[in-house]
A and B are shown apart, each in its own frame.
Chain A
Amino acid sequence: DAGVIQSPRHEVTEMGQEVTLRCKPISGHDYLFWYRQTMMRGLELLIYFNNNVPIDDSGMPEDRFSAKMPNASFSTLKIQPSEPRDSAVYFCASSLEGFQPQHFGDGTRLSIL
């Protein structure tokens, strides 16, 4: 069975550029989560969706970050404009139901120069 699929695996870009991260959840999973992981702050929840609807985006750091889920099999996390402090590993995860374990993708390693 295919797990959560994220792309790209690595992204290096200059500050000020737009960055788009992509995620395909496990088929049939109703919940999708975006996380950011850094050494300093650990794993932080940015936003989560239920049935394609954003439920809680209180973890989104600022207006430069936005996330969408146009259908059940695709979500994007966009940063515009990007800044060096956005450098981190971004994970997407999905779960069958809200209290079920979450399954993570391989992550996108983002470096903003």
Chain B
Amino acid sequence: RKEVEQDPGPFNVPEGATVAFNCTYSNSASQSFFWYRQDCRKEPKLLMSVYSSGNEDGRFTAQLNRASQYISLLIRDSKLSDSATYLCVVNIRDYKLSFGAGTTVTVRA
């Protein structure tokens, strides 16, 4: 079983729509969770950390479900600039992070 698994998508949505996707992780002892975004031929950039209580950052909402070992990301009122690959990131042991393969989101006009 992979350490972090994501639905690769692609999710093709119109501007203004809501899109949501999950990732699952295998190590129940994981303590840190993040969502990164990566644009084509660019470096991964931190989108947001994910906290146990769930957290929002503008149009983005992240949730953590420790019992079921999954993390979700919801994007409201999608913009064209939200088109990217979203990487689910989990620390697997010590300070090592495991990156999911990414979920591709394309927002169309």
Q: Which residues of A line the B interface, CB within 8 A? A: 31, 33, 42-43, 45, 48, 50, 55-56, 91, 95, 98-99, 101-107
Contacts and interface: CB of A to CB of B under 8 A. Distances in A.
Contact of B43 (A48, A98, A101, A104): A104
B2 to A, nearest CB: 10
A55 B94 CA distance: 10
A106 B43 contact: yes
A51 B81 CA distance: 37
A91 B91 contact: no
Interface in B40-76: 42-46, 49
Chain A interface main SS type? strand
Nearest to B6: A42
A56 B91 CA distance: 14
B94 A42 contact: no
B43 A91 contact: yes
Contacts of B96: 45, 48, 56
B101 A42 contact: yes
A56 B41 CA distance: 27
A107 B91 contact: no
A45 B89 CA distance: 12
Given A105-B43, A107-B43, A99 B99 contact: no
A103 B95 CA distance: 14
A102 B96 CA distance: 11
B91 A99 contact: yes
Contacts of A99: 31-32, 91, 95
Contacts of A106: 42-43
Given A42-B100, A107-B43, 20 more contacts: A42-B101, A43-B87, A45-B96, A45-B97, A45-B98, A48-B96, A50-B95, A55-B94, A56-B94, A91-B44, A95-B95, A99-B31, A99-B32, A101-B34, A101-B49, A103-B46, A104-B43, A104-B45, A106-B42, A106-B43
